[in-house]
Structure 1
Amino acid sequence: MSDRSLSQIAGKLKSIDVAMLVTKTGSEGAIAARPMSNNKDVSEEDGTSYHFATDDGRIDDDLKTSNQCGATYSSGDFYCAVQGTGRLHRDREVLEKHWVADLEAWFENGLDTEGLILIEVSPRRIDWWEGREEGQLTF
Structure 2
Amino acid sequence: MADRTLSDIAKKLKSIDVAMLITKTGSEGAIAARPMSNNKDVSAEDGTTYHFATDDGRIDDDLKASDQCGATYSSGEFYCAVQGTGKLHRDRATLEKHWVPDLEKWFEKGLDTEGLILIEVSPARIDWWEGREEGEITP
TM range (shorter): over 0.9
In the TM superposition, what are the counterparts of 1:40-79 in structure 2 within 5 Å? 40-79=40-79
The total of aligned residue pairs comes to 139
- Normalising by structure 1, report the TM-score: 1.00
Q: Which structure 1 residue ranges, 5 or more long, are not aligned?
A: none
Cα separation, 2, equivalents of 1:96 and 1:135: 34
- Normalising by structure 2, report the TM-score: 1.00
* Matched residue SS, 2:93: helix
The Cα offsets for residues 96-129 of structure 1, whole Å up to 9 and x where unpaired, read as 0000000000000000000000000000000000
Identity %: 86
Q: Which structure 2 residue ranges, 5 or more long, are not aligned?
A: none
Q: Does 1:123 align with 2:123?
A: yes
Cα separation, 2, equivalents of 1:92 and 1:3: 39
Q: Using the TM superposition, give the Cα deviation of residue 138 of structure 1 relative to its aligned residue in structure 2, in angstroms.
A: 1.0
* Matched residue SS, 1:96: helix
Structure 1 residue runs of 4+, over 3 Å off?
none
Q: 1:16: which partner in 2?
A: 16
The Cα offsets for residues 72-114 of structure 1, whole Å up to 9 and x where unpaired, read as 0000000000000000000000000000000000000000000
* Matched residue SS, 1:12: helix
